[in-house]
Amino acid sequence: MKYKLNKSKILKADDIWNAVVDLMGEYKFPTENQVANKVYIVFDYYSELESGGHEKLFDWSSWYIDEIGVNNYFRELTSILEDINAHDYSLIEQEYGEKLWNLYKALENDEIAEEDFCNVLEQADNEYLKLGSKLGDLLEVYFMKIFTEVFELVED
């Protein structure tokens, strides 16, 4: 299913970004639209890491990670990151993702000291932050590329 959007609302590149971001805020993930699902996963990753790091990502996405399994989640995420040329971000998740998730779950279950989790969390988040705004730029290009696969542009 494609989401309908008035052509008149798309006048410049920022409008595409805004339309995708607005859709992701209302999106009922997952659906049969695989492109929209990929956008959701990578945009969720970006949004949560920008606002609170990996811990925030895990807080908001734990239901999905638990549902499909940590291996599948990080395989899916790193594949999407590779597809949009976010290779450096994919490497971060390959190195830290599953390990950090397992520490997150162990901390939830009082199996480890908070410091054990926080040490790895800080490393992973610092690696992400070192890359600056590169992921946002890559997402903008990606959104422009897949825009018509997610939206059906209609006349006013």
**Residue scoring higher pLDDT (151 or 99):** 99
In a domain, 46, yes or no: yes
Mean pLDDT value across residues 123-129: 98
Q: Total structural domains in the chain?
A: 1
Per-residue pLDDT band for 136 (boundaries 50, 70, 90) equals very high
| pLDDT over 80 (residue 96) | yes
In a domain, 88, yes or no: yes
How many residues belong to the chain?
156
| pLDDT over 80 (residue 1) | no
Mean pLDDT value across residues 78-99: 98
pTM: 0.92
In a domain, 124, yes or no: yes
Residue 3, φ and ψ in degrees, nearest 5: -95, 135
In a domain, 5, yes or no: no
Per-residue pLDDT band for 110 (boundaries 50, 70, 90) equals very high
In a domain, 122, yes or no: yes
Domain membership of residue 139 as a residue range = 11-148
Mean pLDDT value across residues 9-30: 86
Q: What's the pLDDT tens digit per position in 33-75?
A: 899 999 999 999 999 999 999 999 999 999 999 999 999 999 9
In a domain, 1, yes or no: no
